[in-house]
Amino acid sequence: MKNTLFIALAMSGLLFFSCIDDKKEKSEPEIAEVQTDDFDYNVEEFADIRILRYQIPSWDDLSLKEQKLVYYLVQAGLEGRDIMWDQNYRHNLEIREALETVYTSYEGDKGSEDWKNFETYLKRVWFSNGIHHHYSNDKIKPGFSADYLRTLLSETNATLEGEAFDVIFNDKDAKKVNQASGIDNVAKSAVNFYGPSVTNKDVETFYAQKKSPNPEKPLSYGLNSKLVKENGELKELVYKSGGLYGPAIDKIIVWLEKAQGVAENKAQGDAIGLLIDYYKTGDLQTWDDYNVAWTRATEGNIDYINSFIEVYNDPLGYRGSYENIVQIKDFDMSEKMAVLSENAQWFEDNSPLMEEHKKDSVVGVTYKVVNVAGEAGDASPSTPIGVNLPNANWIRAEVGSKSVSLGNIIEAYNNAGSSGRLKEFVHDEEELELEEEYGQTADKLHTALHEVIGHASGQLNPGVGETKETLRNYASTLEEGRADLIGLYFLYSPKLQELGLVDDWKKVGMAAYDGYIRNGLMTQLIRLNLGDDVEEAHMRNRQWVSAWAYERGQEENVIEKVVKDGKTSFNITDYDKLREIFGELLRETQRIKSEGDYKAVEALVEGYGVKVDQELHAEVLERNKQFTTPPYSGFVNPVIIAKMNDEGEIEGFEIEQPESFKEQMLMYSDKFNNLPVKN
């Protein structure tokens, strides 16, 4: 799962999370304007998006063999880039090809407003891996007319016809993922995981008939396939060599085989071998075998995430989006944070969960700070800042999991500069000072606690099915909220100081609570249009956690709503009591998950996480107008270039930074164009 909410930035209240998941939402907070070196982190801004760069600080510490491993894994990831585009929407590749042809061939007036709007639209489409907004899931609206696009197509001999052309301008397929209650979520979602006539009932009926060979180790049915109807019969089109997305997968396999040849150790090499077998066969048992091997392969300086993993883009939570993240260990920070992994059982034993929902033995939780060397698919350009995998509950329980914080991504956010939203939305000077002094530490620890302790905590009751089956469309937001609550409960605890992680546990906890409530009840609303409901899973979880806690504490005024000079803020009056409330809600969310209580999760999310106070929302948007920093950021990737000797062997590497976003996007489309426009 992906974490994109709390990262080590100076304003926790304007940040968010993705436990792959992200995303998957990805944005960043208000941060101090600092520069630690001469590196230019900023690339450009357009619409509601800021493009940044990141460095790879661990690169020079690697041997040539390790650098080769990183290079091969990065190339493998990029070969699958088109898969994500097609998964997001059935016409995305066709639209991208036409728009890029226009962009590179048009010789007309490039100073007009229409052309500028066309260029902005294309950049937004690049950023979202398709025509739907990466965060809101709404279709991106072009700032030019259909007639103007027809003119551009005609003058560049580009082709885009029929539904693929019309959908840019009409109201069809308006939502990539539609999580609204009381509708057919599959039918109303444009994401390309299902055939056009497949419904919620079809999906639930189809997978209810699937029985795992070992019920104690349920297979991830639906993870790597598209479900369609052929002659009225439901059928899975499996992602594999020779199957759906086969041309791209074959290219992925070539690079993975090279990577296996330079693996750091046998365990790592064996895991890569199983991933290759999985891509060749599409067999879900092989996928589980791979995840077990990958989770156990903890030695070495290089790691990676590759395949169809996070299910946030599926309205019913079955199908995995393609993604790739290649990681180099941050040696110093990983040693400092390993203390959480070593004490995972203490946190489980001392959590407020019901005794029957606690694990007797929390196993194999590893936490590392890593530096990203390359990303692709669902992790790029919009990236998580923390990841916890694998997602299968039984593997987490029996083998463990890997949690990582993407250190150089966080560092890039910290050094990119920002505006001054923090002062606008804090309650008073005390809250501002707490955030400025302790906010970064609080965010780092919440990320770690969320990933290492949160997702590893708790267990299902005997006989209860997988969460995606019992809680259905609410599974992702419930899980993310549950992990958030674990982090919140222990952030305000002297145990953190006892472990040497903080110097003042109380002030760190206070800063964390201030930021979470400020964000969940107010500042995250800057990402919504007035009148919108909350739809993204992580954003929902922050709202239902905060709103439930606010309501629960009203009798004792634990969280005080203050309106002064027409400006609303939220003031926590009793941090100890708020911790008790977080513990109470954590206990209930674990009960819901453990028992598979769909009615309870529906009431929780719909009652607290979906609807927005329109008056407050309008106020927040008005107060935010003074700030020009876009609410969303993403990254171009450093380009790793292999240098060859006379014998054609790699003798070294150079790393170059892209000059522009368009440069990298066009290069990717040219070099990694592995799928037909219709699949």
For residue 580, give both structure tokens.
Answer: 């008790």
Average pLDDT on 340-361 reads: 94
Name the maximum alpha-carbon separation found in the chain.
Answer: 77
Nearest CA to 485 out of 600, 364, 593 is that of: 593
pLDDT at 486 over 80: yes
- d(CA 622, CA 566) in angstroms, rounded, equals 11
27-74 pLDDT, tens digit per residue, is 343 333 333 458 999 999 999 999 999 999 989 999 999 999 999 999
Per-residue pLDDT band at 562 (split at 50, 70, 90): very high
- d(CA 75, CA 662) in angstroms, rounded, equals 19
pLDDT for position 37: 56
104-127 pLDDT, tens digit per residue, is 999 999 999 999 999 999 999 999
Average pLDDT on 400-407 reads: 89
pLDDT at 252 over 60: yes
What is the average pLDDT score of the chain?
91
Q: Which amino acid is at 652?
A: G
**DSSP secondary structure letter of residue 525:** G
Average pLDDT on 292-306 reads: 96
Per-residue pLDDT band at 611 (split at 50, 70, 90): very high
Nearest CA to 161 out of 82, 105, 94 is that of: 94
25-37 pLDDT, tens digit per residue, is 333 433 333 334 5
Nearest CA to 403 out of 432, 354, 446 is that of: 446
pLDDT for position 168: 98
Asked if 470 and 596 count as a contact pair (C-beta separation under 8 A), the reply is yes
Best-predicted range by mean pLDDT among 14-18, 95-99, 369-373? Answer: 95-99
- d(CA 118, CA 47) in angstroms, rounded, equals 12
What pairing do the DSSP bridges indicate for beta strands 639-644 and 650-656?
antiparallel
Which of 73-87, 257-271, 465-479 comes out lowest in average pLDDT? 465-479
Asked if 609 and 544 count as a contact pair (C-beta separation under 8 A), the reply is yes
- d(CA 482, CA 488) in angstroms, rounded, equals 10
- d(CA 131, CA 656) in angstroms, rounded, equals 29
225-234 pLDDT, tens digit per residue, is 999 999 999 9
Which of 132-136, 144-148, 361-365, 600-604 comes out lowest in average pLDDT? 361-365
Write out the E strands in 475-605: 559-564, 567-572
Cis peptide before 390 (omega within 30 of 0): yes
Which of 260-274, 284-298, 444-458 comes out lowest in average pLDDT? 444-458
pLDDT for position 508: 97
For residue 367, give both structure tokens.
Answer: 């936490």
- d(CA 290, CA 196) in angstroms, rounded, equals 32
415-425 pLDDT, tens digit per residue, is 786 557 889 99
CB < 8 Å & 24+ apart, contacts of 261-265: 262/65, 262/66, 262/68, 262/69, 262/72, 263/69, 264/65, 264/66, 264/69, 264/299, 264/300, 264/301, 264/302, 265/297, 265/299, 265/300
In percent, the amount of the chain with pLDDT more than 70 equals: 94
Measured in whole angstroms, the distance separating CA 7 from the mean position of its chain's CA atoms is: 13
pLDDT for position 413: 86
Cα dihedral 182, 183, 184, 190, rounded to 10, equals -140
Average pLDDT on 517-529 reads: 93
Per-residue pLDDT band at 24 (split at 50, 70, 90): very low
pLDDT for position 281: 98
Q: How far is CA 123 from CA 119, 158, 354, 438, in A?
A: 6, 18, 49, 36
In percent, the amount of the chain with pLDDT more than 90 equals: 81
- β-partners of residue 2 are 387
pLDDT for position 419: 52
pLDDT at 189 over 70: yes
pLDDT for position 679: 95
Signed CA dihedral, 290, 247, 376, 196: sign only: negative
